[in-house]
Amino acid sequence: MLGDSPPVSGDESVKPEDTIPAAITDIGCEREINEDRYAVIDSPAGRAWIVCDGMGGSLGGELAAQLAIDAIRRALESRDFDNGEDALRFAIEEANRVIVLRRQNPAFSSMGTTVLGALVQGDEVVITHAGDSRAYLIRDGEIQQLTVDHTYVQELVDRGAIDAEEALSHPQSHVLTRCLGSEPRLDLDAQSFWIWDVAEGEPEDKLLLCSDGLYSLVSDKEIADIVSSVSPQESCVRLVELAKSRGGFDNITLAVLPLGGQLHEEIAEGAKKPVPKRKSERPRVSRARKGPKLTPGVKIALMLILLLMGVLLAGLFVVFSLTN
Ligand code: CA
């Protein structure tokens, strides 16, 4: 269980414990190992919350999730980035590269992991994922799923072949169409959001990140009710208990992040982007070329031809002068 120091809130109706983010991971009731991992990473790009749900049997799933967390941490801490999306994409692609390489070992040839990352920098929140770990937005008892699962059954839902309820109990509900480790080229979904200030008394949003061990046993409505009524820390404990009371057949991981405002897809008027976009803000100078671009080799050849012509002209001039 993880807590954090509370952000400053001007709303006195908000209790201090409501503003402290929390996360939890639990092995559940049936599994022998916990293949889920979560991490909170402070880096120059912001604070990243990562949830990974590993798979691959034996020690593979556990290793894949841990390799992903470690690689993401290393990548985010390694250098500055122009913006949050670039940072998360780079870090997760690095993690994919590490797991693809490790899969060359036959003992780990089927391992992989989902990844879900939320990077918070100032008022900007970037959410990136591959797989079926989910991000939800919770506002005053209402809940909205922000991510779309990369699963075979989600494709069936999208085509209208089954509905979301049937997808949860479908025999192939666990089949992922994207995850870390399966392909050298990773296709990531990324979305950017902005936290807007709210007037006193207006509800503030919470972001919930979780593995499928939670949402396959606890309904969206139940998640919304609990997260809206108690602190993030208490929400983590109650939601894990609820999933376990219904069998807890999978590992359960979740993080609850109070946002101190409301999440929007557009930047608030007058708000400043938190990360300087050094390269993209630099004015692009279009350089109109007046002729074909010359390579260094061609330039040298032209200079030699000009020199030769000069020598020839000088020689001709000398011969002409002598013969006259
Ligand atoms: Ca799982």
CATH number at residue 113: 3.60.40.10
Is 38 part of a structural domain of the chain? yes
Is 65 part of a structural domain of the chain? yes
Q: Cα of 165 to ligand 1 centre, how many Å?
A: 18
- Beta strands 189-196 and 262-264 are antiparallel
Q: How many Å apart are CA 222 and CA 290, to the nearest integer?
A: 67
Q: Cα of 318 to ligand 1 centre, how many Å?
A: 91
In this structure, are 99 and 245 located in the same domain?
yes
In this structure, are 32 and 130 located in the same domain?
yes
In this structure, are 48 and 95 located in the same domain?
yes
Q: Is 103 helix (H, G, I), strand (E, B) or coil?
A: coil
In this structure, are 214 and 308 located in the same domain?
no
Q: Cα of 212 to ligand 1 centre, how many Å?
A: 5
In this structure, are 319 and 171 located in the same domain?
no
Report which of 221, 143, 149 is spatially closest to residue 179, judged by C-alpha positions.
149
Q: Which stretches of the chain score pLDDT less than 70? A: 1-14, 58, 271-299, 318, 320, 322-324
In this structure, are 195 and 151 located in the same domain?
yes
Is 229 part of a structural domain of the chain? yes
pLDDT of the residue at 278: 42
Is 9 part of a structural domain of the chain? no
Q: Cα of 211 to ligand 1 centre, how many Å?
A: 6
In this structure, are 243 and 123 located in the same domain?
yes
pLDDT of the residue at 50: 98
Q: Cα of 70 to ligand 1 centre, how many Å?
A: 19
Apex 147 CA angle, 141 and 153, nearest 5? 110
Is 60 part of a structural domain of the chain? yes
Q: Cα of 213 to ligand 1 centre, how many Å?
A: 5
In this structure, are 274 and 222 located in the same domain?
yes
The whole domain housing 303 covers 293-324
**Total domains in the fold of the chain:** 2
CB 232 within 8 A of CB 20: yes
pLDDT of the residue at 306: 80
Report which of 249, 241, 274 is spatially closest to residue 82, judged by C-alpha positions.
274
In this structure, are 260 and 217 located in the same domain?
yes
In this structure, are 180 and 306 located in the same domain?
no
Report which of 22, 120, 103, 28 is spatially closest to residue 67, judged by C-alpha positions.
103
In this structure, are 317 and 231 located in the same domain?
no
For the chain, how many residues are written? 324
In this structure, are 258 and 316 located in the same domain?
no
Is 233 part of a structural domain of the chain? yes
Is 286 part of a structural domain of the chain? no
Q: How many Å apart are CA 51 and CA 132, to the nearest integer?
A: 11
Q: Cα of 266 to ligand 1 centre, how many Å?
A: 32
Q: Cα of 160 to ligand 1 centre, how many Å?
A: 25
Q: Cα of 296 to ligand 1 centre, how many Å?
A: 58
